[in-house]
Structure formats: structure tokens, C-alpha cells
Amino acid sequence: MAISVLVINCGSSSIKYALISERREDRIYGLAENLGAADARIKGITIGGEPLELSIPYADHAKALETLLARLANYNPQAIGHRVVHGGTMTHAERLTQDTIDRIRHAVPLAPLHNPANLIGIEATLALFPHLPQVAVFDTAFHQTMPERAYRYALPQFLYSDYQVRRYGFHGTSHAYVSERASELAGQKNQGGWLSAHLGNGSSTCAIWNGESIDTSMGMTPLEGVVMGTRSGDVDPSLPLFLSNNLGWDIQKIDNMLNKESGLLGLSDLSNDMRTLVEASENGHEGATLAIEVFCYRLAKSLSALSCGLPRLDGLIFTGGIGENAANIREKTVAYLPHFGLQFSVEKNNSLARGTEGRIDHGTGPQIWVIPTDEEGRIAKETRQVLGQLN
Ligand code: ADP
């Protein structure tokens, strides 16, 4: 019997959690949000499916975790799995030891916004549940199978050897889950060549061959690659120099602009939210229409580029809030990939709504799948694997 795992995902001002038992329908999940603010609160679902809302004014991460873990203790978690964004060159999930914690800390300069929050979660849960086995599951680990030609930047060698400047890739648990699931549904478990597009607030693409990541669109940080909600994705590396020389911007202002004011938000001058943009575009908003066009074209371009690494293309997978829900985004993207020989079914594509997995091609040529992602489920699975509780 599989053990029940508490999955903790600590962000800069929020904590997502899920308690995952062997029965999928028993899953409890929720989040603590607005941490540090007057309206900090916990929102979730109890085991009976009842909504839970709890006000925790000005609670920080540690306080929120304490409140949360005291409640979840009633459900008897037997292990804890932590999502950790940057694992450096760690290739697998690892049981938490002082050495693992030191290595997560060592990767802080590579993910200064994410790893410190992940460490707060780890330290708080270790203090509160010292006897439970705990595991760190890294967003980067799945991509450690990339060949050197895919992970190296064309930069002076010492930046790689002395400072670990290289491509790492993110969203690993999602790409791993959806590619395994699609290949299973296709009856070829973890075999063949797949391209996956994880499209949420952050977005990335991945090429997978026989179950291993061989290339991905995100790089040393999650800023590289396709157009995202507020992140620019790829731009000319000389842009910061131009902004500094001509507008007098400092590096913080440039970083903020590229991460928080660009992407769909910057292009549309309206919103970072795809649902809002789809509606606005239908009502004639030019910025929204342009943002959607650039998003789909650049996404198709990224998928085409990654396809170079695959000996054969068996299928394309859409996931994440946009990939799972926005039928028109899937249709526009596939329209920019005529050379893939995809036989797209408009009817099947339009019939898929949130949470539904399904195949949206006519059954000839490479397959096209919509697979709702399950990062928490994957973290629980990897936690069990590390602890020797295979399921
Ligand atoms: P996160 O990366 O924060 O986990 P999600 O995977 O939930 O985000 O994706 C959020 C994105 O999905 C938002 O841009 C949202 O507008 C988009 N989205 C959700 N539902 C729809 C829909 N029906 N149509 C278009 N976009 C949608």
C-alpha cells in the first residue's frame, strides 16, 4: 500500500500544499496566501470535500506552516515531499539530509527568488515533524539528462566551470508527468519522441526521448525561452546594454521589467492572464490579438527548434492552465507547425475542457494530446520512490 505524502510548495508569498494518499479521490489540497500581509489566509479543501478558510493575519511562512501542519497532522502524513525549484546538478529527488540542504543553499544564487522560500518550508517542517522522512524534489532534475550540446551556452569556458553558468531547465515534474502519461495512453510507455508545452503563468517546452529530457526552453533561470505571463522569454542579449546606455536604467530595473512587466502583459498592455486576453481579442482589442499571435508563433518556433534533438516525433502534448483550457491557442500553435505532419481535429480540440485529458488529432501522423498536469502527484510519487515505497 502506498504511503500518504504531504507535498509542500513554498513560494515567495504563498505555500501550496497537498496531502496525497493512495486513493486519488482522497486528496486534500489548498494554499496559504498573502503571507506577511493583514489578509494572510489559508484556503483549502478538507478530506470530506468541504471548503476550509482560515484567517492568519500577518503570518509569515513559518507561522503559516505551523498552523497548517497542526491541522494536517490529524490526517497522519507518513512522509513529506518538498518542491525545490533549483537543484543545481542534482539528478534525482533526494532524501533531506544536512548535505542536501547545503546543496539547495548552494543553488540560491541560481534561483534567488525561489530557493530561499523553499528552504524556509524545509526548515519549518523539519522542526515540526522531526521524525517524518522528508524528500526534496527538484524542478531542474528531470533535465539533467540533457546532452552537453543542449545545456552549454556559447560563453567563455570558465563561466561554466567556475560559476556553473549553464542551462538547467525548469517545470521538470510537469514535463516528466505529462510525457509519461501521454506515452502510457499511447501504449508505448516512456518510449519514443515527445514534445511537451507547459503553458501557465510560466511556460516552457521540452523534448523527451525514451522518457528522458533531451532539451528544454528555459535556461539558467526561468526567464529564457517562450513568451510567458509577465516574463519576456528570449530577447537579444544586448537589450540590457541598450536600456542602460539610452534610458539610464540600472540592472534591477531591467530585471524587474523582463520578469514582471513583459510577456503577455507587456505586449497587450492589458493583462498577463490568457483568459482575459482571449475575451478581449474577441472584442477587438488589438494589443490582446498581438500578444496571442506572438505567444503562439514563438511557442511553435520553440517546439520546432527542440524537435531537432528528437530522432522521431511521436507526439505533441499541451498542459498547464493555458494548454489545458485554451482551445484557440492550441489550434493557432499547431497551425504554425505544418511540417510536423499533424492531423489536427478542430472538433476534438474544441470539446476538451479543464481537467479532461484527451487526444485531439485524427489518428494518423504524430499524436496530439491534452494532459492535465499533476505536479503534486509526481512529487508524491518521487518521494515514495526515494523512500523505497514504489507504486
Ligand atoms: P501557474 O503557472 O501559476 O500554475 P496555471 O497553470 O494555473 O498557472 O495557468 C494560468 C493561466 O491559464 C492563466 O494565463 C489563465 O488565464 C490561463 N487559463 C485558465 N483557464 C483558461 C481558459 N479557459 N482560457 C484561456 N486561458 C485560461
Same fold, 3-137 and 187-373: yes
Strands (E), the chain: 5-10, 15-20, 28-33, 41-45, 51-55, 79-84, 94-95, 134-138, 193-199, 203-209, 212-216, 315-319, 358-359, 367-370
Domain 3-137 carries which CATH code? 3.30.420.40
81 is in an annotated binding site: no
**Distance between CA atoms of residues 51 and 72, nearest Å:** 14
- The 10 Å Cβ neighbour count of residue 251 is 10
Every domain of the chain and the residues it spans = 3-137, 187-373
The residues near 211 (Cβ < 8 Å, ≥ 6 apart) are 179, 180, 183, 190, 191
pTM of the model: 0.94
Tens digit of each residue's pLDDT (9 = 90 or more) over 347-359: 999 998 777 999 9
CA angle 142, 143, 147 (to 5 degrees): 135
For residues 254, 257, 263 and 269, what is the CA-based torsion angle, rounded to 10 degrees? -140
The pLDDT value recorded for residue 62 is 86
Question: Looking at this protein, which amino acid is placed at residue 102?
Answer: D
| 391: pLDDT strictly greater than 60 | no
Between strands 41-45 and 28-33, the pairing is antiparallel
Is 16 labelled as part of a ligand binding site?
yes
Q: How confident is the model at residue 390 (pLDDT cuts 50, 70, 90)?
A: low
- What's the pLDDT tens digit per position in 135-184? 999 999 999 999 999 999 999 999 999 999 999 999 999 999 999 999 99
| Mean pLDDT value across residues 296-304 | 98
- What's the pLDDT tens digit per position in 191-236? 999 999 999 999 999 999 999 999 999 999 999 999 999 999 999 9
Task: Using the predicted structure, report yes or no on whether residue 74 has a pLDDT greater than 80.
Answer: no
How many Å lie between the centroid of ligand 1 and the Cα of residue 321?
A: 3
Provide the CATH number for the domain formed by 187-373 in this structure: 3.30.420.40
Dist CA 78 CA 251 (whole Å) = 45
Cα(187) to ligand 1 centroid in Å equals 29
DSSP-derived 3-state class of residue 5? strand
Query: In this structure, are residues 53 and 27 in contact, taking their beta carbons and an 8 Å threshold?
Result: no
- Is residue 35 within 8 A of residue 15, CB to CB? The reply is yes
Task: Check: CB of residue 72 under 8 Å from CB of residue 46.
Answer: no
CA of 98 relative to ligand 1 center, distance in Å = 37
Q: What is the DSSP letter of 361?
A: B
Q: In terms of DSSP H, where are the helices of 169-314?
A: 172-185, 239-247, 251-260, 263-268, 274-282, 286-307
Find out whether 200 is annotated in a ligand binding site: yes
Contact in structure between 29 and 17 (CB atoms under 8 Å): yes
Number of H helices, E strands in the chain: 15, 14
Per the prediction, the chain carries an average pLDDT of 93
The DSSP result for 210-228, as a single string, is TTEEEEES--SSTTSSS--
Among 12, 85, 325, 332, name the best residue to mutate to test ligand 1's pocket (greatest count of ligand atoms within 8 A of Cβ): 325
> What gap in Å lies between CA 219 and CA 169, rounded to an integer?
5
Is ligand 1 within 6 A of the CB of residue 275?
A: yes
Residues 378, 376: Cα–Cα separation, whole Å: 5
380 pLDDT exceeds 70? yes
**What's the angle, vertex CA 130, arms to CA 124 and CA 133, rounded to 5?**
100
Burial-class residue 263 by CB neighbours within 10 Å (0-12, 13-18, 19+): buried
Q: What angle do CA 158, 161, 166 make, to 5 degrees?
A: 95
CA 81 to chain CA centroid, nearest Å: 16
| Annotated binding-site residue? 192 | no
User: Ligand 1 pocket test: which of 322, 352, 375 has the largest number of ligand atoms within 8 Å of its C-beta?
Assistant: 322
Ligand 1 centroid from CA 326, angstroms: 8
Q: Establish whether 139 is a catalytic residue.
A: yes
Q: To the nearest whole percent, how much of the chain has pLDDT over 90?
A: 82
Closest CA to 73 of 117, 122, 118, 125: 125
pLDDT of residue 25: 63
154 burial via Cβ count (<10 Å: 0-12, 13-18, 19+):
exposed
Annotated catalytic residue, options 60, 99, 139, 234: 139
